[in-house]
Structure formats: structure tokens, C-alpha cells
């Protein structure tokens, strides 16, 4: 279907997306200088399915719209593997936020600390909010660029 819709990028052409950038367990990351965005190829290791990843992205975009994800296509190795390609605005001149800054930011959003780098508002738990996933720009604004989500209620 991705091929039919023109959303398939052969894996052999992935380097055309941008310059390789520091990557993590879940995403192969590239920086696109032209659009000043970060391109992430998600290997689904954390989500384990595209539908679960899309639910996570919807939650991310609702809670952290300043670092929203956009689906730009798919890549992979044919029917054996399909990896979503995501785009996110690049946060210029950023440093890692401190644990205290992350705590203050999440509390301002109505979340409380409930574990190691985990926050909850009683309905949603947001995990992996470590400094490497939360940035601060020169104005002191906080940007969550990567997080994991768990719905705690059945009200989704």
C-alpha cells in the first residue's frame, strides 16, 4: 500500500533523507539541513506494531505539540519488515534539560513523578523522560523529543 501511495522509500536511499545523527535503540536518526528537521526511522522495537506506534505518536502530539511527529513514509525490506519514517522539528542550540527542569515542566502540565523518569496524570503514564529525551533551548523552553506512553484507563 505504501508503494501504491508513493510513501515507500527504498532502504538503499535512506541516506538521502539527511546526515546521520546520533541514534537510539528505537530510531535511526538523520538531520535534514534543508528543512531543519530530524528524520527518524522507527524500527518498532519498543512499539512492536505500527498501530501501537501510531497511538504513541497521537499521544505525543497531543501532549507535546511543539515537538509533534509527522509521518512522511515507510522504508524497510519489503514484506519482511516495514519501518515508519517520521519527521520532527529540530531544536536548535539545545542542551539536555536537567532532572529538576523536567520535573517542573511535567508538573506544570499536570503530571506527577511516579517512578524513575516516569510521570502520570492518573490517565496516562509518560516514561523515559530522561535528559537525553528532553531538551532545553537558549530561552529555557523545554522540548520533549522522545517518550513512551501508557494509557492507565480505558477511556481512550
| CA-wise closest residue to 94 among 61, 140, 37 | 140
pTM of the model as a whole: 0.89
Write down the mean pLDDT value for the chain: 91
Q: pLDDT by residue (tens digit) across 84-97?
A: 999 999 999 999 99
Collapsing DSSP to helix, strand or coil, 101 comes out as: helix
At 54-85, the pLDDT tens digits run 999 999 999 999 999 999 999 988 667 889 99
The yes-or-no verdict on residue 156 having pLDDT over 70 is no
The phi and psi torsions of 93 (rounded to 5 degrees) equal 50, 40
- Taking CA atoms, 115 is separated from 42, 111, 126, 127, in Å, by 26, 12, 10, 9
Amino acid at each position: 500500500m505504501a508503494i501504491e501511495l508513493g510513501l515507500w522509500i527504498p532502504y538503499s536511499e535512506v541516506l538521502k533523507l539527511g546526515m546521520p545523527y546520533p541514534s537510539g535503540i528505537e530510531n535511526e536518526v538523520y538531520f535534514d539541513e534543508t528543512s531543519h528537521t530530524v528524520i527518524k526511522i522507527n524500527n518498532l522495537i519498543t512499539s512492536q506494531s505500527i498501530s501501537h506506534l501510531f497511538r504513541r505518536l497521537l499521544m505525543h502530539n497531543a501532549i507535546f505539540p511543539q515537538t509533534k511527529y509527522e509521518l512522511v513514509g515507510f522504508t524497510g525490506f519489503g514484506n519482511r519488515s516495514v519501518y515508519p519514517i517520521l519527521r520532527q522539528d529540530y531544536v536548535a542550540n539545545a542542551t539536555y534539560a536537567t532532572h529538576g527542569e523536567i520535573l517542573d515542566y511535567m508538573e506544570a502540565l499536570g503530571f506527577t513523578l511516579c517512578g524513575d523518569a516516569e510521570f502520570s496524570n492518573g490517565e496516562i503514564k509518560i516514561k523515559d523522560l530522561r535528559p537525553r529525551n528532553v531538551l532545553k533551548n537558549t530561552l529555557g523552553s523545554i522540548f520533549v523529543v522522545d517518550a513512551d506512553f501508557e494509557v492507565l484507563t480505558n477511556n481512550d
